[in-house]
Each structure stands twice: as structure tokens, then as C-alpha cells.
Amino acid sequence: MLSNLVRWSGLAAMVGGVLYALFMFFHPPNEPAGMDDALWVPVHVVWLVSILLILVGLVGLYVRYADRMGSLGLVAFLVAFFGNALLVAGSFIDAFVLPTLALKLPEVFESPPLPISIALALTYVLFLLGYVLLGTVIIRSGVLPRWAGLLLAVGAPLFVVGVDTLQLITLLGAVLFGIGWAWLGYVLVSDRDGLTQQSSARVR
């Protein structure tokens, strides 16, 4: 049962990582005019799906390697999980709510209400901090590819830093972050020996 969960989560992480690495190449300008573009909704639906799949991959990654990650790994997992979960809500709003707002209430984008600004800031801070911590844990663990951890730790901040104004930086961050997750997903899918040993140890 555990091995199936981990392998399916690995597959989810691989697909989610690839989608995350690609979606920004088709992203219209991040402004009210861009929200009227025919690509806006499908691009953000792809982003939403990628985040959901990565969330599944995150759970599988922690289930598989929790004993190697220590207390910092637990903190990293929780922060990344909540950041990811909030980003699911944000991507849903981006896909289905913002285009209508841009059409009906364009002034909202000139001066966003304080609660919206706080919610966005919290989402991106948790996302950034969670993946910097998780990347650091992966680098230190010695049981997962260090470069994959580095890609998460660098990709997430770049994605957040450029999200409003520097689309090229956001594109680079999305590519690095997505490749990191696709790599980790491949590790989960192919880690048959480790899963067998872990299951045997539990049986004993």
C-alpha cells in the first residue's frame, strides 16, 4: 500500500513538474489586458493542475523520506504544504475570477484591497520559505539528489520575486522549480529497492 502511494505520488510529481516548467512559456502579460487573452484561462488551468499534482508528490516525498529528514524536514514539509495549498486557491482565482474582475472592475488592480494583498503575501511567503527549507533539507539529507533540492530552493524564490513585474524571472523560476519536482518524482517512481526494504522493516 505504501509503495503504491509513493509511486503514484512520484508519477504525479513528474507530470506536475513538467507542467509547471512549461506553463509560463505561454503565459499572457500579467496585467488586466492580458487577462482578456484567449490563453489566460487554459494556461492557469494547467498551472492549477500542476500545483495539485505537486502537492500529491510532496506528500509522497515526505512519507517516503520522513525518517531521513528530521525535525527540520517536518517543518519544511508543513510550510511547503500550506504554501502549496494556498497557491492552489490562488491559481483557481487567477484562472476563473481575475478575467471577470479585469473586465468589470479594472480599478481593483490599481489599488488592491488590503485583505487581498495580505492573502497574496502570505501565500507567496509560505511557498517561498517552504521550498527554501525543503530544498535545504534535501541537500543535507544525502539520500536525494542535491541538485534537485537546489532547483527547488532557487526556483521558488525566483518565481515569487518576478511574479508581478519581471515575467522573465518568473519563467526561469518556474522552469527550475518544475525540473526539480520532475526529478524528485522520477526518484520516487524508480525507488523500488528502498520501498521494499522500508516495508520489510515495518513488517518485522
pLDDT tens, 89-143?
988 988 888 777 767 676 666 676 777 778 888 999 999 999 999 999 999 988 8
pTM: 0.87
pLDDT of residue 197: 45
Residue ranges of the domains in the chain?
2-197
The CA distance from 167 to 170, in Å, is 5
Convert the pLDDT of each residue in 115-125 to its tens digit. 777 888 899 99
Per-residue pLDDT tens for 151-204?
A: 999 999 999 987 766 788 999 999 999 999 999 999 999 875 554 444 433 433
